[in-house]
Structure 1
Amino acid sequence: MSDSTPKLNLLIVEDEALIAMTVKDALLSYGHTVVGIADTVTSALDISRSCPVDLALCDVRLANGDSGIDAADGLAQQGIPVVYLSGNCPPDAVSPLVVGCISKPFHTAGLNSAVLVSYQIAKGGERIEVPPALTLYN
């Protein structure tokens, strides 16, 4: 990763421990910081209030019957951009800050570029080379 590539504070909202750890390990290998892993709406919002979060990666189906769409909406209301990471990508976004969806199964090699493009778009940057794994909403 070049020095000009942002190193982001990321929140993972995922109830499957193995997937969460795989995503975390991949993101850490690119120099990002994972501020927390949440498996419910409440835990996602609690973490986001206690740590600076640049972008959240959010599954759609969470523990205890929670909805990742609700988590994404709550995070977006706090001004945090979100990209879904799900086998059940919603057809549209609940907020302009919900940038897109990375479909499961995904390749960890493409995860970093999808995260960086999502962050850039959420911050009003140009859409450049959208990776195949990322479906944009806007």
Structure 2
Amino acid sequence: MLDDEAEVRPLNLLVVEDEALIAMLIEDALTLHGHTVVGIADNVDDALALAEEHEIDLALCDVRLAKGDSGVDAALKLADRGVPVVYLSGNCPGSAGHPLILGCVSKPFHTAALHKSVAAAHAIAAGAKSDPPEALTLYH
């Protein structure tokens, strides 16, 4: 497991979350640890547009989005574009459906657990061996 925070470089992250307050809490938790949130999308189209505009190291997707959009669809489409994904949801899917959909962090979460989960997921996506923190359930 990555215990030394010096080992974790700041990452460019995309947050796909339709509830504004939760999105802000996620952004605050991530930026507190030096990461950059390149954007917050509340639907599939906005998530894909942000992925076209920015280099994204990892996306965090809620499963249920407003207006009938699906975070699962967003995750699959982002993964198809080469973006590793971790679900951040109170409704974690039972399986990934794509090798770049790495796992799920259940809501509610602690900010330190979110940071450790993001770092572990990014390391795993890059091919490193990393023991996931308890908060991160891996699919592979």
TM-score between the two structures when normalised by the length of structure 1 = 0.96
2:104 counterpart residue number: 101
Matches within 5 A, 1:69-84: 69-84=72-87
CA distance in 2: counterparts of 1:135 and 1:71, whole angstroms:
19
CA distance in 1: counterparts of 2:5 and 2:121, whole angstroms:
18
Q: Name the SS of the counterpart of 1:22 in structure 2.
A: helix
CA distance in 2: counterparts of 1:74 and 1:7, whole angstroms:
24
2:113 counterpart residue number: 110
CA distance in 2: counterparts of 1:116 and 1:2, whole angstroms:
9
Could you tell me which runs of 5 or more consecutive residues in structure 1 were left unpaired when the two chains were aligned: none
1:38 counterpart residue number: 41
Runs of 4+ in 1 over 2 A off after TM superposition: 1-4
Cα RMSD over matched residues? 1.0
Q: Name the SS of the counterpart of 2:77 in structure 1.
A: helix
Counterpart residue type for residue 27 of structure 1: L
CA distance in 2: counterparts of 1:81 and 1:96, whole angstroms:
9
Counterpart residue type for residue 73 of structure 1: L
2:30 counterpart residue number: 27
TM-score between the two structures when normalised by the length of structure 2 = 0.94
Q: Is the 8 A contact 1:69 1:94 kept in 2?
A: no
Q: Is the 8 A contact 1:58 1:83 kept in 2?
A: yes
